[in-house]
Chains A and B, each alone.
Chain A
Amino acid sequence: MGVAAVNEMSLRVGSGELFGLLGPNGAGKTTLHRMLTTTLFPTAGTARVAGCDVVREAPQVRDRIGVVFQEPALDDRLTARQNLELHAVLYRIHPHWLPSRVREALAWAELAGDADRPVRTFSGGMKRRLELARALLHRPPVLFLDEPTAGLDPQGRRRLWDQVTRLREGGVTVFLSTQNMAEAEGCDRVAIIDHGSLLAVGSPAEVKVLVTQRSDATLEEVFLELTGRGLRDEEATARDHLLGFARRGGELTR
């Protein structure tokens, strides 16, 4: 019997909204992302993304979303251009549009000069920009970002965040999870979750007043008030074990 990672959560994200999901480690953010991006089926309840049910209409949902994972999901032996071309084929970009879309994506990610270098030579920030551009390549109306700025230096973080906030101009709905309170302040609405349950939802200003009855509170105070100050030390995941194995130079690693 597994543990309920996300339980009885009800929320609605408006079209064109920049929606931030906040929660400590293990709160259920990634599980929620995986259910909404159709890689994990919910055991109960329903969810609709861009008007389509995530279980019954999974292919339609997949067609309408762009996804950036918590950690890079690029082929680091291929070049930036080859990664984008592969994505374009997976999302059925018409061959007529493919070269121009790839060129636009590279320019948008500010990687035009590095297009033909293998991704393994890229910095963390470059990989993130490439992934974000890749997720936008097929013009999805909804974009899922799971902690997009984690592990970046302040410059990289700022540049990426500017690009995320500018997506509003194009009317893209952005659903992102974050641990960064400054970023959460910049969202249209935020939801704070913990132990798989929704604790508060609303615009950053609304949430502050609702929780602390003060308008000068910071989002961090609200967050700590709702989720407590206890440390959340997580067990190492299978993925951590695998990466540890690779670092020790296990057999046939990469």
Chain B
Amino acid sequence: MIHGAALPALRYSPARFFDARVVLALWRRELLRYRRDRTQWFGGVSRTVLWLVILGYGIGSSYTNIEGYTYTQYILPGVVTLNILFASMQSAISLVWDREVGLMREILVSPAPMLSVALGKVLGGSTVAVAQGTIALLCAPLAGVDLSVARVLHAWAVMFAMGILLVSIGAVIASRTRS
């Protein structure tokens, strides 16, 4: 029977401020949502193609040397950042949606520590942002930049930090927005 008296040891004791399981579950939720969101994938790929391939090769032919880099190399970090920026914005906007018509109302009446909820959301949004940025990063060899493991790890660290900053700013704005 699903309802009835409480089962012994059905639930573990409450955490006041931090519950790692809650953080992990909300992080996982962002990734699961991302996996099903084909428009976001498409956006990431199409922005990369538009900037790097079309503009990069188009304008690149008239600028051959910008401070020692080719034009495509010069704008590559910008395209990565653009993808991170868009993913972070999307994450903040989804928070507004979530609160009005989605799961966030259910989360807000749950006893889960809200700090852990926020942390899970920010980490999840940042991870998605890194994934989106990586789409552009993968095009680095096209621009003549070699990708070594160390370079990718370094880039990911910077991208993740950027994601955390932007998703957090977005979350603060979204939580103060009355739609």
Q: Contact at A90–B10, with CB atoms within 8 Å?
A: no
Q: Contact at A170–B1, with CB atoms within 8 Å?
A: yes
Stretch in contact with the other chain, from A66-74, A188-196, A216-224: A66-74
Chain A proximity mask over B137-179: 1 for CB below 8 Å, otherwise 0: 0000000000000000000000000000000000000000011
Task: For A185, list chain B residues within 8 Å (CB).
Answer: none
Q: Name the distance in Å between A50's Cβ and chain B's nearest Cβ.
A: 11
Query: Which B91-120 residues sit within 8 Å CB-CB of chain A?
Result: 93, 96-97, 100-112
Question: Does A228 sit at the interface, judged by CB under 8 A?
Answer: no
Question: Does A254 sit at the interface, judged by CB under 8 A?
Answer: yes
Q: Contact at A90–B25, with CB atoms within 8 Å?
A: yes
Stretch in contact with the other chain, from B11-19, B55-63, B73-81, B127-135: B11-19
**A63-B7 Cα distance, complex, nearest whole Å:** 14
Q: Contact at B11–A91, with CB atoms within 8 Å?
A: yes
**A104-B14 Cα distance, complex, nearest whole Å:** 24
Interfacial residues, chain A to chain B (CB-CB below 8 A) = 37-39, 59, 62-63, 65, 67, 69, 71, 73-78, 82-83, 85-87, 89-94, 96-97, 101, 104-105, 108, 118, 133-134, 136-139, 141, 167, 170-172, 238-239, 241-243, 252-254
Q: Name the distance in Å between A93's Cβ and chain B's nearest Cβ.
A: 6
Q: Contact at A69–B105, with CB atoms within 8 Å?
A: yes
Interfacial residues, chain B to chain A (CB-CB below 8 A) = 1-7, 9-15, 19, 21-22, 24-26, 29, 32-33, 36-37, 89-90, 93, 96-97, 100-112, 178-179
When A238-B178, A252-B93 are in contact, do A59 and B32 touch as well, CB less than 8 Å?
no
Q: Contact at B97–A254, with CB atoms within 8 Å?
A: yes
Q: Contact at A92–B12, with CB atoms within 8 Å?
A: yes
Task: For A137, list chain B residues within 8 Å (CB).
Answer: 2
Task: Name which of B15, B26, B101, B178 has the most chain A CB atoms within 10 A of its CB.
Answer: B101
CB nearest neighbor in A for B3: A170
When A133-B2, A139-B3 are in contact, do A77 and B33 touch as well, CB less than 8 Å?
yes
Q: Name the distance in Å between B14's Cβ and chain A's nearest Cβ.
A: 6
When A71-B101, A73-B103, A239-B100 are in contact, do A37 and B111 touch as well, CB less than 8 Å?
no
- Given A67, A239, A243, A252, which contacts B109 in the complex, CB threshold below 8 Å? A67
Q: Contact at B110–A170, with CB atoms within 8 Å?
A: no
Task: For B100, list chain A residues within 8 Å (CB).
Answer: 238-239, 242
Q: Name the distance in Å between B11's Cβ and chain A's nearest Cβ.
A: 5
Q: Contact at B10–A37, with CB atoms within 8 Å?
A: no
**A86-B106 Cα distance, complex, nearest whole Å:** 10
Q: Contact at A94–B10, with CB atoms within 8 Å?
A: yes
Q: Name the distance in Å between A254's Cβ and chain B's nearest Cβ.
A: 6
**A89-B105 Cα distance, complex, nearest whole Å:** 16
Q: Name the distance in Å between A42's Cβ and chain B's nearest Cβ.
A: 16
Q: Contact at A238–B179, with CB atoms within 8 Å?
A: yes
Task: Name which of A96, A97, A139 has the most chain B CB atoms within 10 A of its CB.
Answer: A139
CB nearest neighbor in B for A245: B179
**A77-B35 Cα distance, complex, nearest whole Å:** 9
